[in-house]
Every structure is written in C-alpha cells, then in structure tokens.
Amino acid sequence: MDRASQVLADGLPEGVPTTYANLSEWGQVPYSTIYHRARGRPSKEDKARSQQYLTPTEEKALAQYLKQSADLGNPVPIKHLRLLAFCIRRQRSAADAADEAIKPPGKNWPKAFEKRNPVLKARKVKAVD
C-alpha cells in the first residue's frame, strides 16, 4: 500500500476535521495525490503491476529458472526470454480457459524484465574451444 492510501486508511487524530488538506499536511503527501487516491485512481506502481505481461509470481519463478540455468553453465540468451514468457502466459491462459488470442511480449520486454530483476545480468558468453 502506498503512502497516500495509508494516510487515507489511518485518518486523522481526534478533533481534527477530515479534509484533504489536513490529510495532506498530516501525512506529508501532496494534496493532489490524496485527492486522486480517494477518488479511486491507482498509484503508478499498482497500475504498472496490473499491466505487466507476467504476474509477479511468474516473473519470480522465471528469474529463479534463469539464475539456476546460468549457475549450471547453460545461460539462456536474451532473445529466448520473450519465448519463455510467452509459454508461461499461454499456460496460465489455458488454465483460465480464455478464448482471446494471446499476444507475445513486446520487443523491449526482456530489457524491462532485467531492470525489474537486478539479480539477473546480461553478459556476453564466449564459446569454449
């Protein structure tokens, strides 16, 4: 839960009128943020999380797989990450029995995935003679 939502949920001390200005001052959160959160607008983090291609659990599992694969000496090339993500998403959709077509992740998805998972690092692998 972000700070503005927390301030709205906690409220103000006894005797202080509940206004957005007072909530803003009490919680040290901008007035506009309190206003928008009270009206139902999600935070940037929540909105970004809902628009991600894979769920956080699926991303964590994929990151663990990639780390384990690299530790065993078989690193997965970046160009294969999109295919792996697509396969994971297809399995989830098959379980949900959705009739809509599933699109593969965008061309920049692997780079964003790498940013969200700082444990992973892209490296150039040299061929062994």
What pLDDT is recorded for position 92? Answer: 81
The pLDDT value recorded for residue 12 is 87
**Do the Cβ atoms of 53 and 109 come closer than 8 Å?**
yes
| pLDDT at residue 49, as a whole number | 82
Please state the pTM of the whole predicted model.
Answer: 0.68
**Per-domain boundaries in the chain:** 3-45, 52-116
Residue 95: what pLDDT? Answer: 62
The rounded distance, in Å, linking the Cα atoms of 83 and 105 is 8
Mean pLDDT by 10 residues, the chain (129 residues): 87 88 91 92 87 91 94 88 93 67 90 90 74
pLDDT given for residue 82 in this prediction: 94
DSSP sequence for 59-95? HHHHHHHHHHHHHTT-PPPGGGHHHHHHHHHHHHHHH
